[in-house]
Amino acid sequence: MTIDQYNHQLDGQIKEKLTELTAFLRGLMPNCEETFAYQMPTFKVGKNIIHFAVQKNHIGIYPGPEAIKHFEELVRFFKYAKGSFQVPFDQPMPYELIEKMVKYNLELYKK
């Protein structure tokens, strides 16, 4: 299964949100590898940079524990855990935060 196929199987607003998120991530990482890890759509540049997945009441964004810790002041507005945060279906996607996390991970994993 591809990420586009994963998105296509969803309905309505959720499908639209994930299609937009996928396009956004592709724009940030044009040379990334798209795959699945932990049964989630995953964007890799050498290492896993970010995953996402649809859950029952939210979209889970999984940038990893280092990014969550680094951006804790910004992520605290969401329900979050060690390596992820949740975006409820009725809230806009926090693209600015996601972009910061992706860029942080790209720099972190270059080392």
Q: What's residue 88's pLDDT?
A: 97
Structural domain total, the chain: 1
Which strands form 40-45's sheet, in the order they lie side by side? 33-37, 40-45, 47-54, 58-62, 85-88
Using alpha carbons, select from 95, 92, 102, 93 the residue that is nearest to residue 70: 102
Mean pLDDT of the chain: 96
At 43, list the tokens: 């964007």
Ramachandran region, residue 17 (left: φ > 0; alpha: ψ -120 to 50; beta: rest) = alpha
Query: What's the pTM?
Result: 0.95
Domain extent, residue 14, equals: 3-110
Measured from the Cβ of residue 42, the count of other Cβ atoms closer than 10 Å reads 20
Q: What is the CATH number of the domain that holds 106?
A: 3.90.1150.200
Give mean pLDDT, residues 17-40. Answer: 97
